[in-house]
Amino acid sequence: MEEKGRFIVFEGIDGSGKTTQIRLLAEHLKRAGRKVHITAEPTTSVSGGLLRDALCGARKRSPGELAALFLLDRINHNVCPVNGIEKLTSDGYDVICDRYYYSSLAYQGSQTDYRWVADMNLNCPEIRKPDICIFLDIDAKTAAKRISSDRAITEVFEKEQTLETVRNRYLEVFASLPEDNVKIINASGDVGEVAKLIAECVG
């Protein structure tokens, strides 16, 4: 029987370089002879579409509705028989996912009841734990600079404050999940150096 693939999650604030580092890790794993599938949450499924409508403001949703939609999207992402995480890892693919339940805990957890959000995600029988979560850690100032080069100074400052809040929430979430295999990687360095640190962690 084919060896099972790994489920690798990336988390990080805006500007932390998730997209680039996911691509580089996928190339690294492929060079090592692995089959790789890249995915993201929200997904491209129906529930992912509902989430994108909410995130862009086209459809207003309450914090509880959002948390429940992310949960539904995540369950579907795990169990979809065509291209779900369970199916692909069983077929030997290493699945790399841009955001997972840590995002729900960090974002929705601060907008509605944290314990409820944590409980429904962590104790759901159809939502698996990742084999490894890579948190691309970058300070809010550097991240704001990376994403805001064309914005007004006050806007950059506001953005920086929001990023700082989200980063702190992530760190609290990780501290509360000792059973999860979370690697906090310093992502403020050169792209190649960060990629090397990640490759060392993932193996």
Binding positions for ligand TYD, rule: CB under 6 A: 14, 41-42, 55, 70, 98-99, 103-104, 107-108
The Cα 134–Cα 118 span in angstroms is 19
Give the shortest CB-197-to-ligand TYD separation in angstroms. Answer: 20
Measured from the CB atom, the residue of 92 and 176 that comes closer to ligand TYD is 176
Instruction: Read off the tokens for 5.
Output: 């693939």
Residues contacting 95, CB < 8 A, separation 6+:
5, 6, 7, 8, 36, 37, 38, 39, 85, 88, 89
**Residue 98 beta carbon to ligand TYD: minimum distance, rounded to whole angstroms:** 6
Residues 39 and 31: beta-carbon distance below 8 Å: no
- Sheet of 182-186, strand order: 35-40, 93-98, 7-12, 132-137, 182-186
Nearer to ligand TYD, 34 or 142 (CB): 142
Residue 87 C-beta: closest distance to ligand TYD, Å = 20
**Smallest distance from the beta carbon of 8 to ligand TYD, in angstroms?**
15
CA 99 – CA 140 distance, rounded (Å):
18
Nearer to ligand TYD, 11 or 94 (CB): 11
Count Cβ atoms below 10 Å from residue 37 Cβ, excluding itself: 17
Closest separation in Å from C-beta 18 to ligand TYD: 6
> Whose Cβ is closer to ligand TYD: residue 41's or residue 94's?
41
Closer residue to ligand TYD (CB): 5 or 17: 17
Residue type (1 letter), 125: P
